[in-house]
Amino acid sequence: MERCTATTEQIVQKLLHELSLPHDLGSIQFNSSASIGIAQFPTHGTSAPELIKNADAAMYAAKLAGRNQYSFYNDQMRQQAIARSNMEFDLQVADRDNQFNLAYQPIVRLADRQIYGFETLLRWQHPLRGELKPDSFLAIAEDNGMISSIDQWVMHSACQQASLWRQQHGQFSFKISVNMSCRQFLQPNLVQDIQSLLAKYQLESSQLILEITEAMAMQNIGQSIRVMYELRELGILLSLDDFGTGYSSLTYLKKLPLNILKIEQSFVHDLGVETDNALIKSIIDIGRNMDLLILAEGIEQQHQFELMTKLGCQLGQGYFFSPPLNSTDIVLT
């Protein structure tokens, strides 16, 4: 048994390594990773369906452990698989019964603290568990494909709200910033769909900001650059979310047609430590040299606001200015 486990581990490690190597698809370099779940006969099941089901549960545990990992099945996973399947069912009900809503967090110009725009943040009003934030359910929705329906709803609702604000305040010139999922970003009709939505709600394309992450852009860098140029061509603004947490490759940063660079919250929270200040200063300088607007996420305190302003950041977001709000709590003047 011991020897068998060691061999299994060696095989999966080799598989993970091979699968993580970049693949050349013509002119495009494609990066991928795998998550592997392992169930062994007879310890984890005595029939093929049972083994496959348990290997599947182990695979989700591997994904949760950060992807590019493997996991052996254990009994705790059975409980997690049940919780997951309950969540999947609840998500379908949520979609059907309109349990989702959007919160809007102001993005502020640091120079005068005036509102530049609003980031839309997804919320789920679960009938039993109360308000749920995206980190507790989006990964499951991405895995089972429900994300497509949620994405559509988010994009639609964000544009509808912007249009409503525009009707109420003729001079509405704020931006609406929408977080994209990986699947949505690589969906073939993305550009046409967004174009039709903008037309439907009579919005200027420059009012819409789409937020992507480095990981999303890097999944298929060739297609990402192409799609981003098409979106830019339409006049839509592109923002790189959570900059500093992923690859943070300057080579790719130069290739992506971006407008805004969002510095990840942890940098802002660590402000004050001299080396971090120097790091943030160089990120801001590089971004500004590339003609990007620099936005600091997660500003919670006065000194963070003052320091980010001093370091040359133009935009900010965080509890210091405002938490995410219901649309009804936003009074535009």
* Interface with Mg ion (CB under 5 A): 179, 211, 241-242, 297
Least gap, CB of 175 to Mg ion (angstroms): 13
Least gap, CB of 268 to ligand C2E (angstroms): 8
Least gap, CB of 8 to Mg ion (angstroms): 38
Q: Under the criterion CB under 6 A, does residue 274 sit at the interface with ligand C2E?
A: no
Task: Give the burial string for 101-117 (b: 16+ CB within 10 Å, else e).
Answer: ebbbbbbbebeeeebbb
Q: Under the criterion CB under 6 A, does residue 246 sit at the interface with ligand C2E?
A: no
In the list Mg ion, ligand C2E, none, the entry touching 318 (Cβ below 5 to 8 angstroms by class) is: ligand C2E
Gap between the Cα atoms of 172 and 324, Å rounded: 19
CB-nearer residue toward Mg ion: 178 or 190? 178
CB-nearer residue toward ligand C2E: 59 or 138? 138
In the list ligand C2E, Mg ion, none, the entry touching 90 (Cβ below 5 to 8 angstroms by class) is: none
Q: Under the criterion CB under 6 A, does residue 122 sit at the interface with ligand C2E?
A: yes
Q: Which of residues 87-106 bind ligand C2E (CB under 6 A)?
A: 105
Least gap, CB of 99 to Mg ion (angstroms): 22
Least gap, CB of 71 to Mg ion (angstroms): 28
CB-nearer residue toward Mg ion: 166 or 262? 262
Least gap, CB of 333 to ligand C2E (angstroms): 22
Q: Which residue is nearest to ligand C2E (CB)?
A: 318
Give me 231's structure tokens.
């979106």
Q: Under the criterion CB under 6 A, does residue 141 sit at the interface with ligand C2E?
A: no
Q: Under the criterion CB under 6 A, does residue 298 sit at the interface with ligand C2E?
A: yes
3-state secondary structure the chain: CHHHHHHHHHHHHHHHHHHHCCEEECCEEECCCCCEEECCCCCCCCCHHHHHHHHHHHHHHHHHCCCCCEEECCHHHHHHHHHHHHHHHHHHHHHHCCCEEEEEEEEEECCCCCEEEEEEEEEEEECCCEEECHHHCHHHHHHHCCHHHHHHHHHHHHHHHHHHHHHHCCCCCCEEEEECCHHHHCCCCHHHHHHHHHHHCCCCHHHEEEEEEHHHHHHEHHHHHHHHHHHHHHCCEEEEEEECCCCCCHHHHHHCCCCEEEECHHHHHCCCCHHHHHHHHHHHHHHHHCCCEEEECCCCCHHHHHHHHHCCCCEECCCCCCCCECHHHCCCC
Q: Which stretch binds ligand C2E (CB under 6 A): 24-32, 78-86, 249-257, 293-301?
A: 293-301
Gap between the Cα atoms of 31 and 249, Å rounded: 15
Least gap, CB of 290 to ligand C2E (angstroms): 21
Please select the residue that binds ligand C2E; options are 107, 241, 293, 296, rule is CB under 6 A: 241
Number of residues that bind ligand C2E (CB under 6 A): 23
Q: Which stretch binds ligand C2E (CB under 6 A): 37-45, 74-82, 271-279, 316-324?
A: 316-324
Q: Which of residues 198-217 bind ligand C2E (CB under 6 A)?
A: 211
In the list Mg ion, ligand C2E, none, the entry touching 311 (Cβ below 5 to 8 angstroms by class) is: none
- Beta-bridge partners for 30: 23, 220
Q: CA end-to-end span of the chain, whole Å?
A: 71
Name the residues that contact ligand C2E, by CB under 6 A.
105, 120-122, 133-135, 138, 154, 179-181, 211, 241-242, 265, 297-298, 300, 317-319, 324
